Amino acid sequence: MESLLNRGKVYNYIYNSRLGCGDCGYAIRPFVGRYLTCPVKEAKGEEGFEIYFARGRMNVLKSILEGQIPLSKELAEWIYECSECGNCTEVCHMTHNEHIILPTSKWIDHVKVWDALRRDLVEAGFAPLDHHEELVQYMNNDDMKNPYGEDKAKKFEWAKEFPNIKNKGEFVFFAGCTMPLRQADTLKSMMKVLQSSGMEIALSKDEWCCGSIGIRIGEYKSVDELLKHNLEIFKNMGAKTVFTACAGCYRTLKKDYPELLSEELPFEVKHITEVLVELINNNKILFDSAKEEQIKVTYHDPCHLGRHMDLYEIPREIIAKIPGVELIEMKRNRKHAWCCGAGGGVKSQFPDLAKDISKERIREAVESGADILTTSCPFCIGNLNDAYDEMELEIKEKIKLIDIIDFIASKI
């Protein structure tokens, strides 16, 4: 079987990346808000040499293509130490001038390259790594269908408190796995907000994992059945809009599913922030004046919402419209935002590395002068919380961490 690295665009991505400028590892441009690029390289500290950022990785991949380096388990351990945040692609493409377009923007997509190598490693039998393999097994287990190894029924326990949730309807909520199994209280907050607006939603208790974890680690065979099952569920429910509160599910449903199918989906996919901003703008969500307080809030851009899906402004619009709230930005935001460290399978296989990256992001939030750090991704919230728990008391006294859904719910 021909290596994915040798196919079409991916081959060209690697062999055309000869500029070797190193911005993907060292770019500091204060004038445009760029302060370094690769979270893994920086978290590695003195160990973060060339092969831990994109230029070095590309050179290793060229050596693989030239037959100088064979695929191996050791290589797999290295390639999965990447959150696939896409920050290297942004710095490689970005000039901050609409009249200057870098030629690299036309043919380099680093995340597609990393993805192709992961798929090759899986096909060659050197991946998934141990913890990733467990997630895939759980995800495909008929009694679970989630990467956490929990019984299928547990995913929907949170919904028992909301008997008005429908089984069918045009507006369907896809719960995913992480929030119902690890952050169920946030889903309850979401229902509090939606119910206060008069919105009715449908939820299937037969939904399966979206398959995001399989895609991120290159285990695509595990995704096909999940994809077909979920699409059939949405079809039978009469869905015209499917929305989710998970950034990973959002990217998977909206971007990956159509690409894997090679066709458009028969329904619209939205993130919860897109739903909430519409409700706020239509005066369907009314904030309680008695709960108004003067407070500074900063927003962390999840990679799967921001760089992967270009959804930057809507969460900020929501925050800015909450009475008493002053939205302030961290030093690195939007396309330049620092990754939380949880993506690309890093959190499950290299949890300490993931937390080290999150600690850097929390310190940056403190430096902004914000009282609250919020975001809209359960993986970001989970990893930031794990890092926060290990940080010094001085940090915890300066800033609090909360999901944007919970923050809104606290103000109505």
Strands 241-244 and 171-174: parallel
- Cis before 128? omega within 30: yes
**Which secondary-structure segment (H or E) carries 139?**
helix 130-140
**pLDDT tens sequence across 24-52:** 888 888 888 889 999 999 999 989 889 99
For residue 387, what pLDDT is reported?
98
Largest CA-CA distance found in the chain, in angstroms, rounded: 67
Give me the CATH topology for the region 287-409. Answer: Rossmann fold (3.40.50)
Delimit the CATH 3.40.50.1860 region(s) of the chain. 287-409
Delimit the CATH 1.20.1050 region(s) of the chain. 130-278
Give the CATH number of domain 130-278.
1.20.1050
**pLDDT tens sequence across 61-115:** 889 988 999 999 999 999 999 999 999 999 888 877 778 777 776 778 899 999 9
Banded model confidence at residue 20, pLDDT cuts 50, 70, 90: confident
For residue 1, what pLDDT is reported?
45
Looking at the DSSP assignment, which residues form a beta bridge with residue 295? 325
Give the pLDDT mean for 332-351: 97
pTM: 0.94
Q: Where are the alpha helices (DSSP H) in 252-399?
A: 257-261, 272-281, 313-320, 346-349, 351-367, 378-389, 393-398
